[in-house]
A and B are shown apart, each in its own frame.
Chain A
Amino acid sequence: MSILRQGIVTAAIIGLFWAFVIATTVCVGLSFASGFGFRPGILGCATLGVAGGLALIYVRDLRLVMGGFGAAALALLFTPLSPVLFADGVPLLWQGVAVALFALFTIWPLARMLVEAHPGPLNRHAFEDAVIRFLTGFGYIGFTAVVLIPFYVMVMTSLKSQQALLRNPLDFSIDLGRGLDLFRSYFELFAQFNFGSYLWTSFYVSVLTVFITLLFSVPGAYAVARLRFKGRAAFSRSILLIYMVPMIVLALPIYIAFSMTGLRNTIPGLLMIYPVTTIPVALYMLQGYFRGLPGEVEEAGLMDGLSRIQVILKITLPLSLPAMVSVSLYVFMIAWNEFLLAFMLLDDPSKFTLTRGVAMLNSSEIPRQHLMAGAVIATLPIMALFLGLERFMTKGLTAGSVKG
């Protein structure tokens, strides 16, 4: 531990790791953007990282260090010690860009990380601060990359052609000269695979699910939150218990019952099941909110001669509008994303929901870019809704989503 806390050792190690993180990031980013081959040069990263770290604690002039670091990185470009190595045929411009990006994003954050470090033994604060800054930087890059890359791949694959994908799976660059032809997969999905109808089915099934759910859960939640009756505690517990019954366990008997009664392959059949999977969640979220409302307002309404139903309609509901939006969004999201039941209960391509339609695209006869285009079509509406109403959505997620 004490050796690690020597300023020289700390700076060298953090410099080394950070240079490596940045080199990898730059390589992955540029590979995905251009399709050319980049890879981090381990030796070069180690040399430059250690040198940069040490320079930062010995040389006080920040500008000098930054300039020197950039110059050194560029100078090493054509030697085996280059921080980024290139496959054959990478244009000089890209090589320069790679090394410049590496230099900039290595030395500048590194200076921030080592701001309290100095040669000689570091105190606990300075050491932990440096480590935490390193971990923070690493965390931002890591999380953003891990979250973004799949979505980037999803969108870009949907814009490519099958041959281009097989030729170089890394090349996600877009030929803007193709114009509208870029969106060919999308046009084909709508024209040949009936995706317009799936989109509409998913939409109205989700909206109806929201309405039915609210219709059932609002009175229920009000009763649990406000009225005293025997078995109230037992009831709220059994709501949570119902939450925990896995869908696959229910799907099997539902499949059997629907096969026997002819409800399979019908949208009304789906609409009988979807709300029930969301009612417990909605009831649980709403009763929590109703409890937080001041009871005096409702009592005043009762004193003025309103009936309980009128109190709910005229006082409680208007007051809990934000909660209703949150719950509605959350239920909409569950219904829109639902896969298992749609997959098991729908076989008739004219009645598919969007998720079922995308599942249909997963076959060896249908090219990958169609599948990815379907995935984008399924994701976009829910993303737009999420980004537009993020405040409500996160509230809804935190309030009720014990559900996965």
Chain B
Amino acid sequence: MTSPTPPTTRGALEKREARLAWSLLLPTITIVSLVIILPLLAIFWISFKPVGLADLRPVAPVVRESLRERGGDYRIEYRVRNSSQTKPVTGVSFVDVIPDGVILLEVPEACVLDGATLNCAFGDIEGGFNERLRVPVTLDGDADALEEAVEGSEPTVAGRGDSVMTNSEFTLENFARLFDGKEFWQVMWATIFYTVFGTIGALVVGLFAALLLNKSFRGKGLLRGLYLFPYVSPIIAVAFTWVTLLDPFSGSLNALLIQMGVTEGPINFFGQRPLALIMVTVFEIWRYFPLSFLFILARMQSIDTDMYEAADMDGASPFQKFWYLSMPMLLGILSVLFLLRFIWTFNKFDDIFLLTGGNAGTRTLTVNVYEQAFAISNIGAGAAVAVVIFAMLLLFSFFFFKYISQEEGL
């Protein structure tokens, strides 16, 4: 007698199900790899390249054609130039069709006339190359119509420019410059301060808010909605409101503080070290406490009340109930939130960018990407910072999956 064993090969049904699953996932996988995986690979590539913002324009020959008249003599003028001031273009040539009614009087030496098509070759041209090629012509017919015909037929241009993006020139300078000097450590310090205190602050404030609303009373729904406002509204609106509110010259908060006698003169909240870093962290806490508040409140409301009744019978005081009963139950969600918020605060760009633009010691790693790539116009350096961010993130997500997978739900 053979004992029944589960099949060891995959059955037809199972295969069909897997096939269906993959076909349902295919669109998502395709678009995600196009927009996320591809750029990620690109950023690694760029970080090893000496690319500036100006190099984004392709290096290519440009030819403009026009029909000019001087003293009754007509000529076709081709203006040939190199779009780049520094990089050479190789094998430059163009082909243009001469319309009927235009007769060339003379063919320049760089060109060959073949029927009605004019072939001109320039070979290799240097950066900043800019030349006019004048071809005298006579017109047979209406000058205006012919001018339109001449200028309407765009010459076909050929020529290969060398792009920094695709050539085999690599450099480690981006990284060398990044780690060199104390600027990098300032950026790291700002990032760590902002991330650690922003995360912990949002968690603690969220916990406090959740404790406030973890009872039923009239107007509770209203307050809950209100406390979510900072998170729901557009970042741009709230960031600019904070900037307006804390403005040293026309800000209401400074006016209020001076009037209450807290300070003598106005405080430049977003403009001086180390206050600016503290203020952007406070803003981060203000904006993201609703999220932890919402999660913690949801968890609190699912705790069984029997436990608290039992504790009441045993004479536990309110703080004891919170510390010995609620906290252990909340520890799971708190650690999940901590890890998630940590990663997301680390990734945050918009807030600091809008509040201070990364000035006054608030430049975090993410702001540094923008700063390097666009303010200093060094895309390669920006990409190098992005690679550092990504590497740190891989480290975080290792922890994330190690600990989070034990928690239910996430």
Which residues does A use to contact B, with CB under 8 Å?
Answer: 27-28, 31-32, 37-40, 87, 124-125, 128-129, 132, 136, 139-140, 143-144, 146-151, 153-154, 157, 165-166, 168-170, 172, 215-217, 219-220, 222-224, 227-230, 232, 235, 237, 240-242, 244-250, 252-254, 256-257, 259-260, 272-273, 275-276, 279-280, 283, 288, 308, 333, 336-337, 339-340, 354-355, 358-359, 362, 368, 371-372, 374-376, 378-379, 382-383, 386-387, 390, 393-394, 397-398, 401-404
Chain B residues contacting A140 (CB-CB under 8 Å) are 212, 223
- Known contacts A220-B28, A223-B25, A308-B20: does B234 contact A336 (CB below 8 Å)? yes
Chain B residues contacting A27 (CB-CB under 8 Å) are 260
Contact of B267 with A by CB under 8 A: no
Chain A residues contacting B259 (CB-CB under 8 Å) are 31, 37-39, 87, 170
- Known contacts A139-B212, A216-B27, A216-B28: does B255 contact A168 (CB below 8 Å)? yes
A250 touches B28 (CB 8 A): no
Chain A residues contacting B237 (CB-CB under 8 Å) are 154, 358, 374-376, 378-379
Provide 23 A-B residue pairs closer than 8 Å at the C-beta atoms, listed in order of the A residue. A28-B256, A139-B211, A143-B227, A150-B230, A154-B238, A169-B255, A170-B252, A240-B410, A244-B343, A244-B397, A246-B393, A252-B373, A256-B46, A272-B35, A276-B32, A279-B31, A339-B235, A355-B236, A378-B234, A379-B233, A390-B225, A393-B232, A402-B410
Contact of B240 with A by CB under 8 A: yes
B40 touches A249 (CB 8 A): yes
B318 touches A128 (CB 8 A): yes
Kindly state the separation between the CA atoms of A340 and B352 in the bound complex, as whole angstroms.
12
Kindly state the separation between the CA atoms of A224 and B241 in the bound complex, as whole angstroms.
42
Contact of B300 with A by CB under 8 A: no
Q: Nearest-CB distance from B217 to chain A (Å)?
A: 10
Between A27, A128, A169, A398, the greatest number of chain B beta carbons within 10 A of the residue's beta carbon is seen for A169
Chain B residues contacting A337 (CB-CB under 8 Å) are 233-236
Choice from B20, B393, B400 contacting A227 with Cβ under 8 Å = B20
Q: Which residue of B lies closest to A386 (CB)?
A: B232
B245 touches A149 (CB 8 A): yes
Q: Which 7 A-B pairs have the closest CB atoms?
A: A246-B347, A404-B344, A375-B237, A253-B39, A229-B18, A227-B21, A253-B42
Choice from A125, A139, A401 contacting B208 with Cβ under 8 Å = A139
B229 touches A147 (CB 8 A): yes
Kindly state the separation between the CA atoms of A224 and B17 in the bound complex, as whole angstroms.
12
B244 touches A368 (CB 8 A): yes
Choice from B32, B212, B247, B400 contacting A143 with Cβ under 8 Å = B212
Contact of B134 with A by CB under 8 A: no
Choice from B35, B225, B244 contacting A153 with Cβ under 8 Å = B244
- Known contacts A37-B259, A216-B27, A404-B344: does B241 contact A154 (CB below 8 Å)? yes
B24 touches A223 (CB 8 A): yes
Chain A residues contacting B286 (CB-CB under 8 Å) are 146-147
Q: Nearest-CB distance from B42 to chain A (Å)?
A: 4
Chain B residues contacting A125 (CB-CB under 8 Å) are 317-318
Q: A144-B223, A249-B40 are known; give 10 further A-B pairs, CB within 8 A.
A: A38-B259, A87-B259, A136-B212, A217-B28, A224-B25, A227-B17, A241-B397, A372-B240, A379-B238, A387-B225
Q: Which residue of B lies closest to A36 (CB)?
A: B259
Choice from A230, A375, A382 contacting B232 with Cβ under 8 Å = A382
Q: Which residue of A lies closest to B344 (CB)?
A: A404
B390 touches A279 (CB 8 A): no
Q: Nearest-CB distance from B359 to chain A (Å)?
A: 15
Q: Nearest-CB distance from A302 to chain B (Å)?
A: 11
Chain B residues contacting A217 (CB-CB under 8 Å) are 28
Between A242, A244, A272, the greatest number of chain B beta carbons within 10 A of the residue's beta carbon is seen for A244
- Known contacts A139-B208, A250-B39: does B318 contact A132 (CB below 8 Å)? yes
Which B240-271 residues have a C-beta within 8 angstroms of A?
Answer: 240-242, 244-245, 247, 249-252, 254-256, 259-261
B252 touches A32 (CB 8 A): yes
A129 touches B318 (CB 8 A): yes
B389 touches A386 (CB 8 A): no
Which B91-107 residues have a C-beta within 8 angstroms of A?
Answer: none
Kindly state the separation between the CA atoms of A275 and B42 in the bound complex, as whole angstroms.
20
Kindly state the separation between the CA atoms of A28 and B241 in the bound complex, as whole angstroms.
18
B244 touches A372 (CB 8 A): yes
Which B6-45 residues have a C-beta within 8 angstroms of A?
Answer: 14, 17-18, 20-22, 24-25, 27-28, 31-32, 34-36, 38-40, 42-43
Q: Which residue of A lies closest to B163 (CB)?
A: A260
B32 touches A242 (CB 8 A): yes
Kindly state the separation between the CA atoms of A246 and B344 in the bound complex, as whole angstroms.
8
Chain A residues contacting B255 (CB-CB under 8 Å) are 168-170
Contact of B345 with A by CB under 8 A: yes
A404 touches B27 (CB 8 A): no
Chain A residues contacting B38 (CB-CB under 8 Å) are 253
Chain A residues contacting B137 (CB-CB under 8 Å) are none
Kindly state the separation between the CA atoms of A357 and B112 in the bound complex, as whole angstroms.
53
B212 touches A375 (CB 8 A): no
Kindly state the separation between the CA atoms of A223 and B17 in the bound complex, as whole angstroms.
9
Q: Which residue of A lies closest to B341 (CB)?
A: A404
B25 touches A169 (CB 8 A): no
Q: Nearest-CB distance from A153 to chain B (Å)?
A: 5
Contact of B155 with A by CB under 8 A: no
- Known contacts A143-B209, A216-B31, A249-B390: does B234 contact A371 (CB below 8 Å)? no
Chain A residues contacting B295 (CB-CB under 8 Å) are 398
A249 touches B31 (CB 8 A): no
B56 touches A150 (CB 8 A): no
Q: Which residue of A lies closest to B30 (CB)?
A: A216
Instruction: Mark interface residues in B343-383 (1 if CB within 8 Å of A CB, else 0).
Output: 11111111001100000000000100110010000010011
B43 touches A383 (CB 8 A): no
Chain A residues contacting B226 (CB-CB under 8 Å) are 144, 147-148
- Known contacts A223-B21, A403-B344: does B40 contact A252 (CB below 8 Å)? no
Kindly state the separation between the CA atoms of A272 and B346 in the bound complex, as whole angstroms.
26
Q: Nearest-CB distance from A315 to chain B (Å)?
A: 16
Choice from B36, B232, B344 contacting A333 with Cβ under 8 Å = B232
Kindly state the separation between the CA atoms of A170 and B319 in the bound complex, as whole angstroms.
40
Chain B residues contacting A150 (CB-CB under 8 Å) are 230, 238, 241-242, 245
Kindly state the separation between the CA atoms of A20 and B224 in the bound complex, as whole angstroms.
26
Contact of B327 with A by CB under 8 A: no
Q: Which residue of B lies closest to A232 (CB)?
A: B21
- Known contacts A39-B261, A246-B366, A390-B225: does B233 contact A382 (CB below 8 Å)? yes
B379 touches A256 (CB 8 A): yes
Kindly state the separation between the CA atoms of A398 and B21 in the bound complex, as whole angstroms.
27
Kindly state the separation between the CA atoms of A251 and B370 in the bound complex, as whole angstroms.
9
B46 touches A253 (CB 8 A): yes
Chain B residues contacting A154 (CB-CB under 8 Å) are 237-238, 241, 244
Choice from A31, A216, A362, A383 contacting B256 with Cβ under 8 Å = A31
Kindly state the separation between the CA atoms of A227 and B25 in the bound complex, as whole angstroms.
11
A166 touches B250 (CB 8 A): yes
Contact of B386 with A by CB under 8 A: yes
Q: Nearest-CB distance from B375 to chain A (Å)?
A: 13
Kindly state the separation between the CA atoms of A359 and B234 in the bound complex, as whole angstroms.
12
Contact of B143 with A by CB under 8 A: no
Chain B residues contacting A227 (CB-CB under 8 Å) are 17-18, 20-21, 24
Contact of B194 with A by CB under 8 A: no
Chain B residues contacting A288 (CB-CB under 8 Å) are 409
